[in-house]
Chains A and B, each alone.
Chain A
Amino acid sequence: MSKTERTLEEHELIQRIEGDGQGAFVESYDAEAEVMTINMGPVHPATHGVLRLFLELDGETVMDCKPMIGYLHTGMEKECEDQNWRGAVTIVTRMDYLAPFHNEHAYSRAVEKLLGIEVPPRGVYIRMLMSELNRLTSHLVQFGTQGLDMGAMSAMFYGFREREIITDFFEMVTGLRMNHGYIVPGGVWEDLPDGWQEQVANILDVMPGRLNEYQDLLSENPIFIERTRGVGTITAEECDTLGVTGPIARASGIDWDLRRDMPYEAYDELSFEVPTQEQGDVYARYQIRMAEMVQSVALLEQIVDQMPDGDYKNMDPKLTPPPRSELNRSMEAVIHHFKLVTQGYAVPKGESYFAVESPRGELGAFVVSDGGTSPYRCHVRDPSFYNLQSLPVMAKGGLIADLIACIASLDPIMGGVDR
């Protein structure tokens, strides 16, 4: 018996698993209508994480597409309920892992709303500085993966090269390259270290030239345009109905940006534009992201110029442990420290919602407190989850190759979708 021959039992087993001898990924095949139902993912390099797509295909044409999620569900929202209010920051930051600062930001603002406290101006500006840099890193990844999925390998190298400079800066400020836990209720974890200006100046020096390079590389590229223009179109009404926000909605002509329309922190003191496009296709979404990066660089210049001095977080002793030098001298400080570390601070009973404009759209945190020292409920409205619902609308009637372009342009982060 040769190695390729199977015993009868093996054959039956494989048949039972695979069904009629088709590949395991084919769910059913209707020979009459010539419609084939297949699974794409959950482990597929073009689905950006563990997204499983249930595709109904007629030849190469996508007749229907159902995203199936939950493969990255780790119960992070539930996990927050076991932490105190400060510790939950380390959990929420891991949800949308390409926009950690925005997660922390939304959560912290929601908690601050319940606490009824103010953040000192320097804290506000540091938050905006980190958020805008984070928008750059996230869009750079999107640029790279979009290029990669369209066959432009070098786009990914360039995108990640620039991202690296910015993550180095994150490391300098927060100590970590991802999942920082830096923005906390009351302000930020630590002040900016000495020499941060030079590092940001270096980023701002490098970025405009590199952004131009990207434009040269992809924006005019006939192959890229061929694959993206008129592909995966979605209208403004459909975006509204599905709750799609962020660059995708703006590419369809919805002129909505929380930074400008519901200003938080000090965004109303800065001047910037909200780019919009009308076409609503993959190419428009790509252009929006490129324009947003230019705007972020402009915002960063203003933020660095206007960075105020002073406290970087609310120094209310109920919220912030006393400085370490106090601990050796005052018994009161020791008791305070002990209480804050073991229990954390209590947050008044109530519920609040706060949304920030993340690189993918409206990222909101809904927190409920029962008056205790840990969240009673912490829900995060992650834009990826809502944006992903627009995938069937975009993909229906297109080719499989267009579907790949659509997924890349949606930029879904499965950590945020499943939480």
Chain B
Amino acid sequence: MALPEILTGMRVVIRNVFKGKETMSYPEVRRQPWPRFKGRHVLERHPDGLEKCIGCELCAGACPADAIYVVGAENKPGARFSPGERYAQIYQINYLRCIFCGLCVEACPTEALLMTTEYEISGTSRDDLVYTKEQLIVDAPIQRHWDTKIEYSPDRTTKQKAGRDGASS
């Protein structure tokens, strides 16, 4: 019989039973991703409320998955959206195609397009997942499917809870 070896193995298992749990009961308890996390995009605004995006389509050109659709238009004197000459009339990101590579963020010359740490992108139809400018603009509320009660910091060396507003940076 190979009892000693089996007991050695069982000792490992039993030792681990008394260790803390590694899993979390998502979605009530979550781990907040690191700030560099490439999640859902947002379109930024200038402090005065004008959009940073100038409708240059560089992000659409850089995207390896062809996920971005931009149509630029001229700002008119009565209807000014961005400080420069042009703004994005239509801006869509198709999250069925996006691979979250971040090349669009790198390409954007005005820092209009940023990535948040939100990863909960799911929908019930294909159309739901084509995000329009209204959903992407920074003041649109970020929607989560479930409320979060506790959010842990991503840092494993310190076991601390993070504030809810720290989630989007």
Contacts and interface: CB of A to CB of B under 8 A. Distances in A.
Interface of A: 83, 86-88, 90-91, 154, 158, 161, 164-165, 168, 171-176, 179, 181, 190, 193, 195, 198-199, 202, 213, 216-218, 220-222, 321, 324, 327, 334, 337-338, 341-342
Counting from the closest, the 9 A-B pairs by CB-CB distance are: A222-B2, A175-B38, A172-B34, A87-B64, A175-B36, A341-B107, A220-B5, A90-B101, A216-B8
A49 to B, nearest CB: 20
A335 to B, nearest CB: 11
A171 B5 contact: no
Given A176-B100, A341-B58, 13 more contacts: A90-B64, A91-B64, A171-B36, A172-B36, A172-B154, A181-B101, A193-B34, A213-B12, A216-B8, A216-B9, A216-B11, A221-B5, A222-B2
Contact of B157 (A83, A199, A221, A324): A199
Main secondary structure of the interface of A (DSSP, over half): helix
A3 to B, nearest CB: 33
B62 interface: yes
B79 interface: no
A303 to B, nearest CB: 19
B2 A175 contact: no
A222 B5 contact: yes
Of the candidates A86, A171, A173, the one having the most CB atoms from chain B within 10 angstroms of its own CB is A171
12 contacts: A87-B62, A91-B64, A161-B22, A168-B34, A175-B38, A175-B100, A176-B38, A179-B99, A199-B155, A216-B8, A216-B9, A341-B61
B139 interface: no
Interface string B32-52: 011111100000000000000
Interface in B4-37: 5-6, 8-9, 11-13, 16, 22, 33-37
B85 interface: no
B55 interface: no
Contacts of A158: 16
A216 B6 CA distance: 9
A327 B106 CA distance: 12
Nearest to B154: A168
B145 interface: no
Interface residues of B, number: 34
B156 A173 contact: no
Given A83-B64, A172-B34, A174-B36, A337 B109 contact: yes
Interface in B92-151: 99-103, 106-107, 109, 111, 115
A324 B99 contact: no
B102 A175 contact: yes
A195 B34 CA distance: 12
B36 A334 contact: no
A296 B37 CA distance: 26
Nearest to A93: B101
Contact of A324 (B38, B103, B111): B111
A172 B31 CA distance: 13
A202 B156 contact: yes
B9 A220 contact: yes
B157 A342 contact: no
Nearest to A174: B36
Nearest to A195: B155
B58 A342 contact: yes
Given A90-B64, A222-B5, A173 B16 contact: no
Contacts of B155: 195, 199
Given A172-B154, A202-B157, A222 B109 contact: no
Contacts of B154: 168, 171-172
Nearest to B15: A213
B109 A221 contact: no
A337 B107 CA distance: 8
